Amino acid sequence: MSDAMQARAGAAAIEVLKPGALSTFQDLGRHGFQQLGVPANGAMDERAHRLANALVGNAASCATLEVTLMGPALRFHTAATVAVCGADLEATIDGEPLPSAQARVVPAGATLAFGKRRRGLRAYLAVGGGFALEAVMGSHSTFVRGGYGGVQGKPLRKGDVIALRAPHTRLPVLPSGGSLFSSEPESAPDAPIRVVAGREWRHFHADAHAAFTGGAFRIGARSDRMGYRLEGPALPLGAPLELQSEAVGFGTIQVPPDGQPIVLMADRQTTGGYPKIGHVIAVDLPRLAQRMPGETVRFALVELAYAQRLALLQDAAFAALEAARD
């Protein structure tokens, strides 16, 4: 790192030696601007993001580095506490394994790097004290299509220097229950993704209902942070239907005229006009976000009250974890 870069970033910084395939800073999202057409953005796997922050003593709203498939190599110019949660992308500190969902101290001058993919798609790196990023519309989340947030609205690039706010080397003491959290629930990895019926569920043909909950869908190659395009049995409407565009959310499942569903993800547009057959429940969005193009998913219909109860239980568990840490 050059003298000029050192002066700009100060000693409390990390240097990007390798950028990885797609490494962007994300937080809990950019809220309150969707009426202006501004996407919410944020972490694709919010559960892994929140856990990584909890493990290093950060608030859930702090940005983490979302690492996709092929991770970066980062040189730490100061000692800092870190945690990586979510996908197992073979994280190491100077070649020594960095266990998933465990806080560790990175010594000054050491390199944190990622290797081959073992499980999942997205890992989340938190640094105790947080990254020194400028907020855009109240969020540090990177929106690459819009060119804002994170570091100049771009994925990490070789040579980037990221300043740290208040790095520390404390290892927060968490209750044993903290180990129960992971980016995957305790159910089998291939368990169906749970959904609630969408606004237009009743307008779909009975054959579409059966295919949606009984068939398998392949995640298409054009899937990304904006949406997962699924390939599988067509989901026909019972009769032609014209709709006005209305608000959509993370997990909304729209069905365009070709009958192939699209699950809207973190970088989704703010409105949509296609009929909605379902909506992925909040606690299963992380499971879907960890699936790769080419993998297969199945869906199971659940009641809204059940989905809400699961979300409240997860929020309560995180609140208890964070309270015990504090």
152 and 203 co-located in one domain: no
Distance CA 160, CA 287 (A): 31
- Of 149, 165, 183, which closes a domain? 183
176 and 257 co-located in one domain: no
Q: What is the pLDDT of residues 222-278, one digit of tens each?
A: 999 999 999 999 999 999 898 999 999 999 999 999 999 999 999 999 999 999 999
Question: Is residue 188 in a domain?
Answer: no
228 and 110 co-located in one domain: no
Percent of the chain with pLDDT over 70: 92
Residue among 228, 236, 277 nearest 259 (CA): 236
SS3 state of residue 248: coil
- pLDDT the model gives residue 323: 81
151 and 200 co-located in one domain: no
153 and 212 co-located in one domain: no
Q: How many domains does the chain have?
A: 2
141 and 211 co-located in one domain: no
CA distances from 26 to 134, 136, 148, 281 (A): 12, 12, 12, 21
Residue among 105, 125, 123 nearest 63 (CA): 125
**What type of residue is 133?**
L
162 and 274 co-located in one domain: no
Better-predicted residue by pLDDT, 317 or 267: 267
Question: Is residue 219 in a domain?
Answer: yes
Q: What is the pLDDT of residues 25-50, one digit of tens each?
A: 999 999 999 999 999 999 999 999 99
User: Domain residues for 202?
Assistant: 193-319
Residue among 83, 107, 97 nearest 178 (CA): 83
Q: What is the pLDDT of residues 63-91, one digit of tens each?
A: 999 999 999 999 999 999 999 999 999 99
- Of 128, 161, 183, which closes a domain? 183
Q: What is the pLDDT of residues 153-176, one digit of tens each?
A: 999 999 999 999 999 999 987 764
